[in-house]
A and B are shown apart, each in its own frame.
Chain A
Amino acid sequence: METSLPWIILLSPLASAVLILLFAHRSKPLSVLLSLTAVFAAFGSTLLLFSSHSVVQTSATWIDLGPALHLTIGLKIDALTRVMLLVVTGIGALVHVYSTVYMAEDDGKARFFGSLSLFMFSMLGIVLADNLAMMFIFWELVGVSSFLLIGHWFTKPSAAKAANKAFLANRVGDFGFMSGILLVWAATGSVEFAGIQENLAKLTVNPSLLTLAGLCLFCGAVGKSAQVPLHVWLPDAMEGPTPVSALIHAATMVAAGVYMLARIFFILEPSPVALGVIAAVGAVTAVLAALMATQQDDIKRILAYSTLSQLGLMVAGIGVGAWGASMFHLFTHAFFKALLFLGSGAVIHALHHEQNIWKMGGLRRTMPKTFITFVIGTLALTGTPGLAGFFSKDAILLAAWHKSAFIFGAALFTSLLTAYYMTRLVVVAFFGEAWTPNAKHGHDCPPAMTVPLMILAVLSVISGYKFFAGSIFGEELFHSVHAAEHVSLVPILAVSVFSIGTAGAWFLYNGRSKDPVKIPLFRNKFYIDELYASLIAGTQDLLASFSSWFDHFILDGVIVRGISGLTWGVGYTLRLLQFSNLQGYAFLFGTGVVILFYMLIK
């Protein structure tokens, strides 16, 4: 039973994806049913897994090339995996239920659920993998399914473009990830986590190689978890349907990078340089993304930048060595961020696909259920004492306090900004008056959408407490969450920046119908997209003119034409040997015999 559960978890979404995409895509209800069955089967099996806290490992040989390369399809269940499994299948199940209503009118509903199942399969594959090679394969599969889901409305040019952007940005990171895997494999001779850990000494003897391998692996996380400088794809990915944004681009997939870093932390740990770089990248991402979030008008984009910033915080947490704290924040963040996204989805759904917060307003009266849950999510995210976000953010802040003043400062500043922009969002969208006629007709959505919101709201409150998180993390892992020594100054500082941020935004935005603050630098995302565009365009122009010349004269002229001409020429000449004349053939045959005799007996 113990060994078959992981396979059920992994394979039921695959079965559903295959069935939907191959056979059931003509029937919407059947697709939905299949997809829901699969995700609840996975969720149920996950819950069963919690009945024991032992480490389960099951594997089957995949490719056996002798001692040089022995790849297995192996699943590993330990405390870390259990946490991720619960997050992925739990939020996945809620999002599935929510989507049945959200996507009700969509023509591509069957395709949507098929892709969603495919995503569940790939994501669970990452979580369950017991070796880097398998993880990489699922990593790529996640990329593909994310591409499919962002581009779900592929007839919209912006969605198609966003899907491409996400895919390409991820490819850049994945290239580094693959190089990292190859480096680790070359050094330790194994791609399995257990095998690497056994042979880690072979890697640590060469610190520069170790650092290089660690940084290469980190590249994968930079791509998938959208860290600076590859963060540009995540805000654009909001072109996908909102449930997708909640599941993939807030709660699970983007967290895969953090999960991966936690998984391979034992490789990173011996290299202070790699950890330093990781902490710095995380901190920079956290601050930059938070600054960008303060000036966005699109409700989903604000949440997207907020996700970026929180992911930066988690990565920074890994960088300061507190991978337990980062996983804890990942865990709590998954609930309230999914809640916020699904809440925003409810608003968007109710307002007929209106996403600009300045065209909302006063929704607290027309959509009370959505309002209450959304506020709970916001409070959890901003770190209100007593809610989930407070505990997990506190754990990271504590670890940073002991390690580096710079990281701590950045994290604190991020908290301030988080409180500020989230309050701004809530105040503008839900308080005040309805700024447009459209906003007056807001209404709460059907129960299939609001019930997931309520469940998530409850979880956003309780998931930080020890009685809940502790039982899920398990004794040992939960202990590592709070490894850092407690300093009472840290929570005091955290609460004070939260109060400043919230109060500031409240006074600035309450009752306003237009944004009183205008900072073009933040609004335009530090011009990073433009910078990339011009950088790429400039280099491209230069490269293009050169490569056009090269292509025209060297490649096309000399090499391609030359080689293809040569091969064709040879082909034509050889064909002339087939002149369809029996005597001639016999003659050729005889010549062959003579040549053979000459070669062997001379």
Chain B
Amino acid sequence: MFPPITLEILVLALGFILLLAESFSQSTSKRSLAKSAVFCLAWIFALSFFVTSAPANPEPGSFWNFYSADPVSMVFKRIALLTTMAVLVMALEYEKVLAKNIPSAREGAGTGEFFILPLFTCSGLMLLASAVDLVMAFAALELVTISFYVMVAYMRGSHASLEAGVKYLILGALSTGFFVYGITWIFGLTGETHFTKIALKLASLQGSDTAILFALVLVLVGLGFKVAAVPFQSWVPDVYQGAPTPVTAFLSVGSKAAGFLLLLRVLEPFLGVASIAHKILLVLSVLAGATLIFGNLAALPQNNLKRLLAYSSVGHAGYLLMAVACVGVAPSALGSVGATVGFYLFAYLLMTLLSFLVLTIATQHTKGEEIQHFNGLSKRSPFLAFALLVAMSSLAGVPLTAGFYGKFLVFAQAVNASQWTLIALGTVTVGAGFYFYLRVVAAMYWAEPADASPIQVSGLSKMIIVLLVAGIFVFGVNPKPVLSAFQTQQTPLASAH
């Protein structure tokens, strides 16, 4: 048994060690880096079951004032570890494309860091899951974001990747600026950075609400960017399309999860202020509605699968925001909003990783990412086609998949909170979603392939795909284990009301 912070330290240390090993080694093949990283992460994952729990009442001044390790944050840590492992496997599949797009004297040179940077993102995500202090949360969030800046622009031979990198960097820096400004406002108002203490101070604050709202807007802007909420979503399609595919997958899963986790934590103190709670919910509903409409409708005319998934990522942010916009009410029979968001993120993670993994493997043989390039995939590789079918069905929300249950929970929360407008919008956009997700399925199964050569899948990827598919079905039929993992303790939001 050892303190939970050991996990983050181990991941960081692993990153440093691999970084140095890479710079000292003479070998041109970098695959062993990724493989050893996956192996070590698996060990760290196993270790995560043997950590001590956080003290109930930490001494003032101790580290526990910045960092907590309740069961929910442990679940998030484990999810971060598993996601990183999947992304690394994806990166292995992507290695050839990567090497082609990095001009260098020796083949394979300069690809090594691509397998190491995810580790830093991972440790950032893990720290974020435990952060109970704004400073800690901000530092963790930046660790995640900065490593993403590098990874997005990693293919320096590709214009799209560089363009994506610049856009992400500039807009990301802009949003970070707003977020920090918001934090300083909060600190100015309350003199605290710890979430619980902020909540106490805010609730008893005298005077105008304007200053509080000002702080809230700034924070919402910063986090709205991270979760890709309309109108801060403009970076998403270009960045997702331009970035290397494994990074896109990581971005859509990791960045989104981090954003929503922090959003829930930051919103809690503000919702404690009775006079502004209804305004907050209104703004959240408007954001959710706009995000739903934009994400799902703008996806309709897309022909590029990667870009389609980018819009779909915005659309799913809409459903998640829809759940967040229901925080005002007491926990329903289905559990708190926190658990709903947690389950939805988990389901989204499974299906997004699955679609991007298939995309990564398939595009190396299809010579393109347009939907038409996937024509007749079922004849070339029934395995991949079936996996993508499952992913698309789950994204669209076909019953018995995890995606369906996630949507079901979100709608149940909305019904509980009587958010009828959002429910109507959600229903319409689910319909639109069916159209554009199943277009991909139609292309795979009913169109004739231009090139009928079969596609081989490596053993490791095959294993991950099987696990993801199984996960989608298992947690779609029996969502209980995941739900109860997020419900073991009162989540921050549930305890506020």
A residues contacting B by CB (< 8 A) are 62, 64-68, 567-568, 570-572, 574-575, 577-578, 580, 582, 584-586, 588-589, 591-593, 595-597, 599-601
With A574-B297, A575-B301: A601-B237 Cβ-Cβ less than 8 Å: no
Q: Which of A65, A567, A580 has the most CB atoms of chain B within a 10 A radius of its CB?
A: A567
Question: A578 and B238: CB pair below 8 A?
Answer: yes
Q: Given A589-B174, A593-B221, A601-B217, list of 13 further CB < 8 A pairs?
A: A65-B334, A67-B333, A567-B300, A567-B432, A571-B298, A575-B298, A578-B238, A582-B171, A586-B171, A589-B225, A599-B286, A600-B216, A600-B279
Contact of B213 among A580, A585, A601 (CB under 8 A): A601
Point out the residues of chain A lying under 8 angstroms from B238, CB to CB: 578, 580
User: Which 9 pairs across A and B sit closest by C-beta, in order of nearness?
Assistant: A592-B231, A66-B333, A571-B300, A574-B298, A585-B234, A571-B297, A600-B213, A570-B297, A601-B213
What per-residue 1/0 map shows which CB atoms of B135-178 lie under 8 Å from chain A?
00000000000000000000000000001001100110011001
**Can you list 25 A-B contacts (CB < 8 A)?**
A62-B478, A66-B334, A67-B333, A68-B333, A570-B297, A571-B299, A574-B297, A578-B234, A582-B167, A585-B171, A585-B235, A588-B234, A589-B171, A592-B221, A592-B232, A593-B221, A595-B231, A596-B217, A596-B220, A596-B283, A597-B214, A597-B217, A599-B282, A599-B286, A601-B214
When chains A and B are docked, how far (Å) is the Cα of A235 from the Cα of B163? Answer: 70
Closest to B238 in A: A580
Q: CA A64 – CA B483 in complex, angstroms?
A: 11
Give the chain B neighbours of A572 by CB distance below 8 A.
Answer: 301
User: What 0/1 pattern do residues 207 to 235 of B give for CB contact below 8 A with A?
Assistant: 00010011011001100110000111011
B294 adjacent to A574 (CB under 8 Å): yes
* Interface bits B441-481 vs A (CB < 8 Å: 1, else 0): 00000000000000000000000000000000000001010
Does residue B293 face the partner (Cβ distance < 8 Å to A)? yes
Complex Cα spacing A584 to B235, Å = 11
The answer to whether B300 touches A568, judged by C-beta atoms less than 8 angstroms apart, is: yes
Interface residues on B, range: 35 or more
By a CB distance below 8 angstroms, the chain B residues around A571 are 297-301
CB-nearest residue of chain B relative to A587? B234
**Which residues 107-137 of B have a CB within 8 angstroms of A?**
none
A65 to B416, CA, bound (A): 13
Complex Cα distance, B230 from A595, in Å, reads: 11
Pair A577/B234 contact, Cβ less than 8 Å: yes
Q: Which residues of A contact B334 (CB under 8 A)?
A: 65-66
B333–A65 touching, CB < 8 Å: yes
User: Distance in Å from the Cβ of B211 to the closest Cβ of chain A?
Assistant: 10
Shortest Cβ gap from B336 to chain A (Å): 13
**Contact partners of B175 in chain A: CB under 8 A:** 589
Inter-subunit contact A589/B232 (CB<8 Å): yes
Contact A596 B297 (CB under 8 A): no
Q: With the chains together, A595 CA to B290 CA distance in Å?
A: 13
Q: Count how many pairs of residues, one from A and one from B, have CB atoms less than 8 Å apart in the complex.
A: 88
User: Chain B residues near A584 (CB, 8 Å)?
Assistant: 234
Residues from chain B with a CB closer than 8 A to the CB of A593 are 178, 217, 221
> Considering the chains assembled together, what is the distance between the CA atoms of A592 and B230 in angstroms?
8
Give CA–CA (A68, B412) in the complex, Å. Answer: 13
Report chain B residues within 8 Å CB of A67: 333
Once bound together, how far apart are the Cα atoms of A582 and B234, in whole Å?
9
Contact A599 B166 (CB under 8 A): no
Let me know if A600 and B217 touch, CB within 8 A: yes
- The smallest beta-carbon distance between A66 and chain B, in angstroms, is 3
Complex interface: chain A residues within 8 A of B283 (CB): 596, 599-600
Q: Please give the distance in Å from B229's CB to the nearest CB on chain A.
A: 9
Shortest Cβ gap from B429 to chain A (Å): 9
Bound together, the chains give a CA A67 to CA B279 distance in angstroms of 33
How far apart sit A596 and B282, CA to CA, in the bound complex (Å)? 11
Inter-chain contacts of A64 with B (CB < 8 A): 480
The winner among A66, A580, A582, A597 for most chain B CB atoms within 10 A is A582
Write out the residue numbers on chain A whose beta carbons fall within 8 Å of the beta carbon of B220. Answer: 596
**Interchain nearest-CB distance for A84 vs B (Å):** 28
> From residue B428, how far is it (CB to closest CB) to chain A in Å?
8
> In the assembled complex, which residues on chain B have CB atoms less than 8 Å from the CB atom of A601?
210, 213-214, 217
CB-nearest residue of chain A to B279 = A600
Q: Can you name the residue of chain A whose Cβ is closest to the Cβ of B335?
A: A66
Tell me the complex Cα distance, A51–B235, Å.
71
- Enumerate chain B residues within 8 angstroms of A577, measured Cβ to Cβ: 234, 294, 298
A597 to B, closest residue via Cβ: B217
Nearest-neighbour CB distance to chain B for A21, whole angstroms, equals 16
Q: Which B residue sits closest to A582, measured CB to CB?
A: B167
A528 CA to B133 CA, complexed, in Å: 77
A591–B279 alpha-carbon span in the complex (Å): 20
Most B-side CB within 10 Å, residue of A67, A591, A595: A595
Give the docked Cα–Cα distance between A572 and B302 (Å). 9
CB distance from A545 to the nearest CB of B (A): 29
Question: Which residue of A is nearest B234, CB measured?
Answer: A585
List of A residues within 8 angstroms of B301 by Cβ: 568, 571-572, 575
What distance in Å separates the Cβ of B158 from its nearest Cβ neighbour in chain A?
15
Which of chain B's residues 285-336 have a Cβ closer than 8 Å to chain A?
286, 293-294, 297-302, 333-334
In chain B, positions 173-225 with a C-beta closer than 8 Å to chain A are 174-175, 178, 210, 213-214, 216-217, 220-221, 224-225
Closest to B429 in A: A567
- Cβ-closest chain A residue relative to B287: A596
Chain A neighbourhood of B293, CB < 8 A: 570, 574
Query: B167 — which chain A residues lie within 8 A by C-beta?
Result: 582, 585
Complex Cα–Cα for A578 and B299 (A): 12
Do B237 and A578 touch across chains, with their CB atoms under 8 A apart? yes
CA distance A65 to B238 in the complex (A): 41
User: What distance in Å separates the Cβ of B420 from its nearest Cβ neighbour in chain A?
Assistant: 20
Distance of A26 from chain B, by nearest CB (Å)? 16
Complex: how many Å from CA A591 to CA B174? 13
In the bound complex, CA of A600 to CA of B285 (Å)? 13
CA distance A64 to B481 in the complex (A): 12
List chain A residues, Cβ under 8 A from B170.
582, 586
Query: Least Cβ distance of A298 to chain B in Å?
Result: 41
Instruction: Report Cα–Cα, A567/B436, bound state, in Å.
Output: 12
Q: Which residue of A lies closest to B483 (CB)?
A: A64
Q: Are B166 and A567 in contact (CB under 8 A)?
A: no
**Using Cβ atoms and an 8 Å threshold, which residues of chain B touch A597?**
214, 217
Chain B residues closer than 8 Å to A586, beta-carbon distance: 170-171, 174
How far in angstroms is the closest Cβ of chain B from A561?
14
B13-26: CB near A (< 8 Å → 1, else 0) gives 00000000000000
Q: Output the least CB separation between A462 and chain B (Å).
A: 45
* Contacting residues, chain A, for B234 (C-beta < 8 A): 577-578, 584-585, 588-589
B-side contacts of A578, CB under 8 Å? 234, 237-238, 298
**Chain A contacts for B178, CB-based, 8 A:** 593
Chain A neighbourhood of B232, CB < 8 A: 589, 592
Complex CA gap A567/B297 in Å reads 6
CA distance A67 to B333 in the complex (A): 8
Give complex CA distance A586, B237 in Å.
15
Residue of B nearest to A62 (CB): B478
Among residues of B, the one whose C-beta sits closest to the C-beta of A68 is B333
User: Which of B231, B234, B280, B301 is packed against the most chain A CB atoms within 10 Å?
Assistant: B234
Residues of A within 8 A of B213 (CB): 600-601
Give bound CA distance, A62 to B480, whole Å: 9
Chain A residues contacting B282 (CB-CB under 8 Å) are: 599
Chain A contacts for B221, CB-based, 8 A: 592-593, 596
Q: How far is the CA of A591 from the CA of B301 in the complex (A)?
A: 25
Assembled-state Cα–Cα distance A577/B290 (Å): 13
In the complex, what's the smallest C-beta–C-beta distance from B115 to chain A, in angstroms?
A: 29
Query: How far is A188 from B232 in the complex, measured between Cα atoms in Å?
Result: 50
Q: Enumerate chain B residues within 8 angstroms of A68, measured Cβ to Cβ.
A: 333
Bound state CA distance, A65 and B334, in angstroms?
Answer: 6
Q: Which residues of A contact B286 (CB under 8 A)?
A: 599
Contact A582 B166 (CB under 8 A): yes
Q: Bound complex: CA of A584 vs CA of B234, how far in Å?
A: 9
Residues of chain A lying within 8 A (CB to CB) of residue B478: 62
Query: In the complex, which residues of chain B have a beta carbon less than 8 angstroms from the beta carbon of A596?
Result: 217, 220-221, 283
CA distance A591 to B221 in the complex (A): 11
